[in-house]
């Protein structure tokens, strides 16, 4: 076999521990796939003794970051610390020292990858971050290499397992949002501070990286309109179910005439559609292209120690396999800075109001919708207990309007005196939900 390939791990948390275990156990299959022995050379952990027996048995492996990046015998640094500043400095120092880098840091790479990729090219080293998107689902490599001949036109998916677990729990067990969130935390699917997940920020960061791979465009997360699930209620879940739908947090982007339109937000997806069937904390990404209009569908565990470690180890093996090549573009193509274009297309939407029951509400609502040229498709007011008249859920669906136009209309309706909460809207997965096609009629 060829000369060994030495790896240092920065961070020994949930993912780092699994990577350390795999490398420390000296798996021959990893060596065979890499074409050379892969050796664990060093570990950085803020408090080494907290590694317990592993530290007691392997104290010589534990070193500080400065020693690791300056060690000429280390070929690859794997950053699994998380955070921004310390991780960014460690990655930069490693590449300046001629070391390849693997990372799972979605927050860092979504915003700073252009400068990091440029630094990798300058120092003729490789930089990979498969685990930064969808954990153990190898979607970035699939897009960069498996779809290299295709012109990708659309990507969409469920790329945050925490929110998918919460929404699934609400639907299956009839629990409200707060109760489902508490269970997600108890099971380890949600962080103590869940805000990045439930507000959609995590999915937005991952979508930015997917766009770079799929379209060769860099759109920073701050430029992608994002809505979370923190306002989704059990009433919304129940109403979606009555329409044959489920609510999922969907990240989507499409490229039309060279322009990218991207957004993240909860959507009503058809219950038995590919996205509708994605359960609990799993992730899924659908990729459509000029040569594959039906789309490839990638699904698997989007978080957790072992699945994410699998993607990290795959990156390590791929770098070791071609380490003599020096720099290799991580996206499989060049990437240019771009803008996220406003979505000027008409869509279908679901809207939920919470109102104080009174005479003339529908008249006032429809008057505003007519003013904004919005087509009202349906109105639903479910039977309610007498005690709910002052806080009554009320649902409508609309079609053939842009999101911006709907938002303006809802802002105006929201100022009317019968509202008890700000109106909340969600997009439908398909814009032709209310059109009965000939095939539908034939099968009816």
CA 404 to CA 344: how far, in whole Å?
8
Q: Which of 301, 288, 246 is nearest to 268 (CA)?
A: 246
**388, 312 in Cβ contact below 8 A?**
no
Other residues' Cβ atoms within 10 Å of the Cβ of residue 86? 15
CA separation, residue 432 to residues 116, 239, 428, 435 (Å): 42, 19, 9, 5
CA 388 to CA 386: how far, in whole Å?
6
CA separation, residue 385 to residues 61, 200, 382, 393 (Å): 66, 34, 10, 11
**61, 9 in Cβ contact below 8 A?**
no
What residues contact residue 385 under an 8 Å CB cut-off, 6+ apart?
none
What is the residue-wise DSSP string for 72-85? TT--EEEE---SSH
CA 325 to CA 312: how far, in whole Å?
20
CA 194 to CA 63: how far, in whole Å?
32
Other residues' Cβ atoms within 10 Å of the Cβ of residue 29? 8
- SS3 call for 264: strand
Counting DSSP H helices and E strands in the chain, the numbers are 16, 16
DSSP 374: P
Catalytic position from the list 36, 99, 206, 288? 206
**How would you classify residue 110: left for phi > 0, otherwise alpha for psi between -120 and 50, otherwise beta?**
alpha
Other residues' Cβ atoms within 10 Å of the Cβ of residue 148? 9
Other residues' Cβ atoms within 10 Å of the Cβ of residue 367? 13
**299, 284 in Cβ contact below 8 A?**
yes
Is position 206 annotated as part of the catalytic site? Answer: yes
* 387: Cα separation from own chain's centroid: 40
First and final CA of the chain: distance in angstroms?
A: 64
Other residues' Cβ atoms within 10 Å of the Cβ of residue 70? 12
The residues assigned a catalytic role are 206
């Amino acid at each position: 076999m060829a000369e060994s390939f030495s790896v240092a791990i920065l961070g020994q948390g949930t993912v780092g521990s699994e990577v350390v275990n795999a490398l420390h156990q000296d798996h021959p299959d990893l060596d065979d796939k890499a074409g050379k022995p892969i050796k664990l050379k060093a570990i950085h952990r803020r408090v080494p003794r907290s590694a317990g027996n592993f530290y007691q048995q392997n104290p010589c492996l534990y070193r500080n970051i400065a020693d690791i990046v300056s060690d000429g015998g280390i070929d690859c640094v794997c950053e699994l610390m998380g955070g921004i500043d310390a991780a960014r400095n460690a990655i930069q120092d490693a590449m300046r020292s001629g070391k390849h880098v693997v990372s799972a840091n979605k927050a860092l790479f979504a915003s700073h990858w252009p400068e990091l990729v440029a630094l990798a090219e300058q120092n003729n080293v490789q930089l990979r971050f498969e685990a930064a998107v969808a954990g153990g689902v190898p979607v970035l490599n699939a897009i960069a290499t498996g779809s290299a001949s295709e012109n990708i036109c659309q990507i969409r998916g469920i790329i945050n397992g925490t929110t998918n677990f919460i929404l699934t729990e609400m639907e299956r067990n009839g629990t409200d949002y707060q109760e489902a969130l508490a269970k997600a935390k108890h099971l380890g699917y949600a962080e103590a501070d869940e805000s990045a997940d439930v507000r959609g920020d995590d999915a937005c960061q991952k979508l930015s990286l997917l766009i770079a791979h799929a379209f060769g465009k860099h759109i920073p997360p701050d430029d992608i309109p994002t809505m979370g699930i923190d306002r989704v209620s059990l009433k919304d879940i129940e109403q979606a179910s009555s329409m044959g739908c489920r609510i999922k947090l969907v990240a989507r982007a499409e490229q039309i005439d060279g322009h990218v339109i991207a957004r993240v937000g909860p959507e009503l997806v058809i219950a038995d559609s590919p996205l509708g069937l994605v359960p609990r904390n799993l992730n899924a990404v659908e990729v459509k292209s000029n040569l594959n209009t039906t789309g490839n569908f990638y699904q698997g565990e989007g978080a957790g120690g072992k699945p994410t470690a699998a993607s990290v180890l795959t990156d390590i093996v791929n770098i070791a396999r071609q380490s003599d090549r020096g720099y290799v573009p991580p996206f499989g193509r060049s990437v240019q800075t771009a803008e996220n274009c406003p979505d000027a297309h008409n869509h279908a939407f679901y809207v939920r109001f919470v109102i104080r029951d009174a005479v003339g509400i529908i008249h006032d609502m429809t008057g505003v919708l007519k003013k904004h040229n919005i087509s009202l498709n349906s109105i639903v007011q479910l039977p309610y207990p007498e005690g709910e008249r002052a806080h009554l859920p009320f649902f409508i669906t609309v079609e053939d309007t842009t999101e911006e136009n709907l938002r303006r209309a809802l802002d105006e309706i929201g100022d009317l005196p019968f509202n008890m909460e700000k109106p909340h809207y969600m997009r439908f997965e398909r814009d032709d939900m209310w059109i009965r096609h000939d095939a539908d009629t034939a099968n009816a």
